[in-house]
Amino acid sequence: MSLLVGLASCSKSDQGPASIADFTLSRNVIEVGEQVQATNQSQHAVSYRWRNPGAVDSAQTDSNPTFTAGTIPGTYQVTLLASNSQERVTRVTHPLRIGRRTLKAIHLNLLPLTRPTGQPWHADGTGPNISCTIHAGPSIVYVNVFASATTFPNVQSATPALTWSGGSDLPNGTWSIEFLDKEGSYYNQMLLLPFDLTGPPANRDAEGNGSYTFQSGAWTVVLEMATL
């Protein structure tokens, strides 16, 4: 009996402390094609297996891997299997949401209410009737990706900031936003503002929301973005 107890005791002690799997992600919401860093916080583990079905490099064995998001938006479960020296495995899973950079709204906060010549936009002295369009490319010869159906009439200095609802994806690239004044059956270009996007907004929060701010002379334009 004592021999059996001794063998059982040795067998149990040889297993070593059980691994405790744990990790964090550098972001819980990322864009398609964006990288996310996993930081391993496991204890008593000597080997690791990672599974991230939303990533291009979905299976990894590094201690602290970097995953590159695929092209299909969705919420994916990132799983870590941590093994101790006796190959006893524990697991932990955290969600990762992958989305596209999407224009939520356009805010026109400041604008000149007269032409560059100092004359009013309309001969009768009324304010401009303003609409906006976003083009893929630096000029209006490119295809529209967003054209608002909303026109703000007779905009005056006391008018609060103008806001157009968005809905279009704006990935990295060169774009331009155009503001037009509708006078009768004619449209006058008020501003054509080219801009380049090279990454997510610098002020992006944990939920993937942020904004870009552009200025041109007296104009201030804010593009409100979301990761959807």
Residue 128: count of CB within 10 angstroms of its CB: 26
Please state the pTM of the whole predicted model: 0.86
In this structure, the strands spanning 186-197 and 173-183 are antiparallel
- Is the pLDDT assigned to residue 9 strictly greater than 70? no
Judge whether residue 2 has pLDDT over 50.
no
Answer yes or no: is pLDDT of 78 > 90: yes
Tell me which residue of 134, 132, 126 sits closest to 102, measured CA to CA: 134
Residue 154 pLDDT more than 50? Answer: yes
Among the listed residues 11, 24, 21, the one whose alpha carbon sits nearest the alpha carbon of residue 206? 24
Query: Does position 13 have pLDDT exceeding 60, yes or no?
Result: no
| Structure confidence by residue, pLDDT tens digits, 169-228 | 999 999 999 999 998 888 889 999 999 999 999 999 999 999 999 999 999 999 999 999
The lowest-confidence range among 54-63, 103-112, 129-138 is 129-138
Q: Which of 82, 86, 92, 88 is nearest to 47 (CA)?
A: 82
Task: Give the pLDDT score at 141.
Answer: 54
3-state secondary structure of 183: strand
The band of 113, judged by pLDDT with boundaries at 50, 70 and 90, is confident
Given a cut of 60, whether residue 8 has pLDDT beyond it is: no
Please report the pLDDT score of residue 220 as a whole number.
Answer: 95
**CATH, domain 101-227, list 2.60.40.150, 2.40.160.100, 1.10.10.60, 3.40.50.2000:** 2.60.40.150
| pLDDT, position 44 | 97
* Beta bridge partners of residue 152, listed in sequence order: 130
Q: What is the largest CA-CA distance in the chain?
A: 108
What percent of the chain clears pLDDT 70, i.e. is strictly above it?
Answer: 89
Given a cut of 70, is residue 72 above it in pLDDT? Answer: yes
Check if 15-99 and 101-227 are the same fold. Answer: yes
Domains of the chain, by residue range, sit at: 15-99, 101-227
Mean pLDDT score, 137-147 = 65
Token pair for 174: 């060169």
* Residue-level pLDDT at 139: 67
Is the pLDDT assigned to residue 127 strictly greater than 50?
yes
Predicted pLDDT at 5: 41
More confidently predicted of 157 and 180: 180
Average pLDDT over residues 44-58: 98
Q: Which of the four pLDDT bands, split at 50, 70 and 90, describes residue 80?
A: very high
Q: Right CATH number for 15-99 from 1.10.1370.30, 2.60.40.10, 3.40.50.1370, 3.40.50.10330?
A: 2.60.40.10
